[in-house]
Chain A
Amino acid sequence: MDWVNAIIQGTLLGGLYALFAAGLSLIFGVMRLVNIAHGDLIVFSAYVCLTITTSLGIHPLVALVLVVPIMAAIGYGLQRGLLNKTLGTDILPPLLITFGLSVIIQNTLLQVYTADPQKLSAGDLEIASIKVGSLAVGMLPLLTFAIAVAVIASLQYMFYKTALGRALRAVSDNQEIAQLMGLDKRHIFGIAMALALAVTAVAGVLLGIRTSFDPSVGGGRLIFGFEAVIIGGLGNIWGTLAGGVILGVAQTIGAKIDPGWQILAGHIAFLVVLAVRPNGLFPRMSA
């Protein structure tokens, strides 16, 4: 029964990792940009939420109403003001600039909030659970997973059923021809980054409720998101959920064997997939 429990916990944890991955996957899909600062932006969102909850005294999930638009606005500004200038055939500038951004965000957070671990307090939600047979499943992990499914389903819908999604796919396919359709790619990229950081905001708040965080944990979140993307297969939105779940289950099973093995087991699962199925388990399927 312990093992079943570990698998359930891992699956639910995978929802959080899918949220880390979805934003990463979205911007890579639209503009072939890999944002090294992605993990730091997740942590940054958690700190934004912390400031809002402590100053307004509201629940962190309610604070999402503010955190999401704030992060989306930051994303749009970041893309228009900085990242658009780096996009081209050379992969070096965007990589190094987002790396610089990562260091800047980390140290700014350190300056403002110090290195002390923080946590978002969600009150009773943190300890609430429901009984399934002899197992107790936490409300928070369950809610996280449900939110992840909802976010990914909305992204999928937006991408394949709306005018915005059409524009995003057109720009992703062929930037020049998309411009001939009157699409300003600088704006479209801005929107894509805004969407990615809106998802990041949700991920950051859920992370902050689940565990304590400090300015240095961004790199690890980037890696988890990245692993979920690669395990799931590039260019597949639902794949990121599958990838997140596989990563989460690998980690909880690893932790079951030896607590020191939790993260390592996740990395090993990723490396095994990379060795056996380098295009991921669910490579791009057209919707």
Chain B
Amino acid sequence: MSKGILVYSEITSDDYLHTVVFELANKAVELSKKMEDAPVMALVLTKPDLINEYKEAFQKSGFDKVFYVVDERFGTYRTDLFAKAAVQAVKQIDPEIMLVGATCQGRDLAPRISTALGTGLTADCTGLDILENGKFAATRPTFGGQLMATILCKKYPQMASVRPKVFKPSEVDVTRDTVFIKMSVDLDDYVPQIEVLEFTKKLVCDLNDLDSAKIIVAGGKGMKNAEGFALLKKLADKLGGCVGASRVAVEMGLAPQAVQIGQTGKTVSPKLYIACGISGALQHTIGMNSAEKIIAINTDKNAPIFDICDYGIVGDAFEIIPKLLEL
């Protein structure tokens, strides 16, 4: 095993480096200080013509080494192809720790890598640390967010996934003299088993781009029906925000899975989160409690959401929101 922390660097369907890469880089730089400045490394699988586009971003985010594998077929993510390439690359790099963003791609790929390498993977971590004995400690919520577990790994690399927006990218310039290393992997015997027939992008104008939203108006069970969510949309439009939902609201068919906030959904950290008809189960609040300010509207004055919010009003969102819209 060589020293160092490897960050899997996801490329989005628009050919950008995923923002979670910068968040993980910042964390990796912090961890490496407790590891005698072990190198912070990236692994990226990309189309050959694009690697130069990413170089500056890698340098600026504090990477010491960037390992890249190029192939024309890397333009579209496919589990079998990426797993085959990534497993070979990680074996060659042989890092002590490997971090992966818990995006759709990361959650699909990371368990293939860890299983193929015979090592452990701790999912959706909210805290990462190096213990005094040098072990990597990954902390994550479990049991619907009610229990925190710190998990260690006996095998190497010690792997963890982290959702976007859990850590912050560096605010200061951490430019390093990054070394770029081209790697080769053997994909000659790759026979595609998965074929992507078509991809329909979610419409940006309609899409609740929760990840970057400054203001989120979210609804739960209390928003009852489509009219309830239409009210939320109106309020969100007025405030220049986006609509989110609790798991129960998604299960009731009031909102798509893509806007679900909470443990089995997204983690968000907007400037303002307005929770309407959401009771505030931990399962939900761990996905939004890092919002700068939280306002809650709920008919039940004992709802746990009021324990974590800054401002609250006891009342029916169906009456309150229309009044807000008129103001």
Do they bind each other?
no
Interface residues of A (CB under 8 A from B): none
List residues of chain B with CB under 8 Å of any chain A CB. Answer: none
